[in-house]
Chain A
Amino acid sequence: MTATTAQRADAETERSARQTKSTRRSDRMAGKRRSSTIIVTAILAIVALYFLVPVYWVFVASTKSTEDLFSTYGFWFAPTFSLWENLSQVLSYDGGVFVRWFLNSLLYAGVGGVIATYFAAAGGYALAKYDFKGRNFVFGTILGGVLVPGTATALPLFLLFSQMGLANTYWSVLLPSLVSPFGLFLCRIYAQATVDNSLMEAARIDGASELRIFHTLGLRILTPALVTVFLFQLVGIWNNYFLPLVMLSDTELFPITLGLNNWLSQVDRLPEFYELTTGGVLLSVIPLGIAMIVLQRFWRGGLTEGSVKA
């Protein structure tokens, strides 16, 4: 993207260089274009400030001691730089419970994301490439699931899981995370557009079983869509709060969202929890922030191709 803009800019300067001796009108056009570039970029930069300032603030706050946090200017660093003390306190507090929460989140989001993507791919592929009785009914029902608010099912799911003895276990958060109706919907669109019937036919003539065709041929062709579905699901589970809040009472099983909120609720009693919470927020924002920046190009790719061909 940046490369193409650079190319575009190069081409523009080249063109304007060639046109220097031509009419005054093209000069005016170039000037107009330059001023619109400045205006647009300035607006984009101001909006970027809005999105980045809170993250900047939490970074500054986590470098301060509790006294400095309240006595010094919030958008600038205090004379004493205590980031490392704060972070080591975050990591070691209560026997390293923060690390445990982080690993729990990683488990829920990572394992949940991978398996949910595989199931959504298999289902979407089946609905796109086979004609069978009840196909429309199954698809319609799943599509209805996209519109059901996740929090509406969480309460009854808790009642159901308590009866099955699953409440307050890893499974209670993991099992619901394995289903992504929206992911299945995306995979179906993508499979319809990209998986070629004649290719499947050729594989069949070679004697490959239907499941094998899906695993070798289907999954490979669906890869761009799978990345998108995986990312959606990963972020969805990582950000989920209501489901673990309803399901879990044991702090050992908490994901990071629940854990940090647990710390925040103690700041009234012990102000040192401000340090723990800001440090913990910083540590949890950094990995996902990096992931977002690195992965956003994949995100775009998968979605675009899906929507172009649909």
Chain B
Amino acid sequence: MTTTPVATGTAERQQPTELRTGKPARARRTRGAARAPWMLLAPFLALFVLTFILPIIVAIGSSFTSVRRSGLFGEEGVTSEFAWFDNYALALADGNFIASIGRMLLFGVVQVPIMIVLATVLALMLESASARWPGFFRAAYFLPYGVPGVIATILWSFLYVPGLSPLFDVAALVGLEPDFLGAGSVLWSIANIVVWSYTGYNMLIIVAQLKSIPVELYEAARVDGASTWRVVRSIQLPLIRPALVLTTVFSIIGTLQLFAEAQVLMKVAPAIDSQYTPNLSAYTTAFAYNDYNVAAAQAVLIAVVAFALSFIFLKLTNRKSA
């Protein structure tokens, strides 16, 4: 934020040089400085346009287009026309798609706070003087982040299936008969996989912010005789707010993108249908029904909901701090 305008600074400070070497050198330098940022940005921007901007334009474009096939099997050619909001109307009229968004909202309201609170508590405990072997524990908690979501789900799915999983033997010891894959419980079995995968990652972001708190603050608190709880509440929690906001926003976006976990569990859990999550729904529309236009409308709707939720969350947290 404190960047000085380099190009003008160069010109000013080079006055003496210019007097000695004449104008061409100065002109060459300023031209170089003017072109340099674009040359440095060019590769990133080119790929950004190809993989972000163009797909977004294509998605919005095809979400407003409808394709009409003439003839019984479309053999008489395909015509596409501007369809206004027809695809959006179709997507929104699909009760299963709306239900999947509702399901993800319920999922997010429960899973995201649990994960963020768990990550915060673990980070605070690891950074407290009371913890032994913090390096080992930090590595253990972070390990699942290196396990891809699909593989984590394959792993947990083995643990959810009766007959294969030792969890059922353990549960039987205390007289429980869990059903991890039933209609009512499978959503929370997915939540468990997400918590398992990402708590350590969020914890690490919070730990990084905790480490940036100046030692003097802790010393001042100790001099004042503040209790551990008081230090947590009055120093640590307020100062790690940015990390908490960041991890929450990423988790909200991640929740709406949920796909791999549901798709992999589908094979063992009949309760999961092909429209269980919004993304699964869009994928099914595109590749099972070959209706790319409605799928594009669904993709746009998912992005808009994710964007709106992140925006609302950021607004709420900003207002609270002001």
Residues of A within 8 A of B (CB): 1-2, 5, 8, 33, 36-37, 39-41, 43-45, 47-48, 50-52, 54-55, 57-58, 61, 69-70, 73-75, 119-120, 122-123, 125-132, 135, 138, 141-142, 145, 147-153, 155-157, 159-160, 175-176, 178-179, 181, 184, 192, 197, 200-201, 204-205, 209-211, 214, 235, 238-242, 246, 256-258, 260-261, 264-265, 268, 277-278, 281, 284-285, 288-289, 291-293, 296, 299-300, 303-304, 307-308
Name 12 interchain pairs, CB-CB below 8 A, sorted by A: A2-B133, A37-B132, A55-B155, A122-B43, A126-B38, A127-B37, A138-B41, A175-B50, A210-B40, A257-B150, A260-B150, A289-B143
Interface size classification for chain B? 35 or more
A-B complex: 10 closest residue pairs judged by Cβ atoms: A74-B166, A210-B36, A288-B146, A131-B5, A126-B40, A123-B44, A156-B59, A130-B37, A156-B55, A126-B37
A307 in contact with B242 (CB, 8 Å):
yes
A28–chain B nearest beta-carbon distance, Å: 15
Query: Quick one: given A235-B146, A296-B204, are A119 and B44 in contact (CB under 8 Å)?
Result: yes
Residues on A with C-beta less than 8 A from B209 are 304, 307
A152 in contact with B292 (CB, 8 Å):
no
A123 in contact with B59 (CB, 8 Å):
no
Residues of B within 8 A of A (CB): 1-10, 13, 17, 29, 32-41, 43-45, 47-48, 50-56, 58-59, 62, 122, 125-126, 128-152, 154-156, 158-159, 163-167, 169-170, 196, 199-200, 204-205, 207-209, 211-212, 242-243, 249, 253, 256-257, 259-260, 264, 267, 279, 282-283, 286-287, 292, 295-296, 299-300, 302-303, 306-307, 310
B137 in contact with A48 (CB, 8 Å):
yes
B264 in contact with A149 (CB, 8 Å):
no
Query: Quick one: given A41-B133, A44-B125, A73-B166, are A149 and B256 in contact (CB under 8 Å)?
Result: yes
In whole angstroms, how far apart are the Cα atoms of A201 and B17 in the complex?
13
B140 in contact with A51 (CB, 8 Å):
yes
Query: Quick one: given A51-B144, A74-B165, are A179 and B131 in contact (CB under 8 Å)?
Result: no
In whole angstroms, how far apart are the Cα atoms of A181 and B3 in the complex?
21
Query: Quick one: given A153-B51, A241-B149, are A200 and B169 in contact (CB under 8 Å)?
Result: no
B56 in contact with A156 (CB, 8 Å):
yes
B36 in contact with A242 (CB, 8 Å):
no
A153 in contact with B146 (CB, 8 Å):
no
B137, B146, B159: the one contacting A54 at CB < 8 Å is B159
- Look across to chain B and name the residue whose beta carbon is closest to the beta carbon of A192: B3
Residues on B with C-beta less than 8 A from A52 are 140, 143
A43, A135, A151: the one contacting B125 at CB < 8 Å is A43
B306 in contact with A264 (CB, 8 Å):
no
In whole angstroms, how far apart are the Cα atoms of A131 and B33 in the complex?
9
Given contacts A41-B132, A268-B267, 16 further A-B contacts (CB under 8 A): A2-B135, A8-B129, A33-B130, A39-B130, A48-B141, A57-B158, A73-B166, A119-B47, A131-B5, A147-B310, A149-B303, A155-B286, A192-B3, A256-B151, A278-B158, A307-B208
Residues on A with C-beta less than 8 A from B310 are 147
In whole angstroms, how far apart are the Cα atoms of A130 and B34 in the complex?
8
In whole angstroms, how far apart are the Cα atoms of A51 and B196 in the complex?
6
A70 in contact with B7 (CB, 8 Å):
no
Residues on B with C-beta less than 8 A from A39 are 130
In whole angstroms, how far apart are the Cα atoms of A43 and B122 in the complex?
9
Residues on A with C-beta less than 8 A from B35 are 210
In whole angstroms, how far apart are the Cα atoms of A248 and B51 in the complex?
16
B158, B204, B256, B283: the one contacting A299 at CB < 8 Å is B204
In whole angstroms, how far apart are the Cα atoms of A61 and B163 in the complex?
13
In whole angstroms, how far apart are the Cα atoms of A307 and B209 in the complex?
7
B40 in contact with A123 (CB, 8 Å):
yes
Residues on B with C-beta less than 8 A from A129 are 3, 6
A51, A142, A257: the one contacting B151 at CB < 8 Å is A257
> A120, A151, A201, A209 — which one has the most chain B CB atoms within 10 A of its CB?
A151
A122–chain B nearest beta-carbon distance, Å: 4
A292 in contact with B143 (CB, 8 Å):
yes
B5, B34, B169, B207: the one contacting A73 at CB < 8 Å is B169
B13, B38, B41, B135: the one contacting A201 at CB < 8 Å is B13
B208 in contact with A304 (CB, 8 Å):
yes
- Look across to chain B and name the residue whose beta carbon is closest to the beta carbon of A131: B5
> A2, A156, A241, A293 — which one has the most chain B CB atoms within 10 A of its CB?
A156
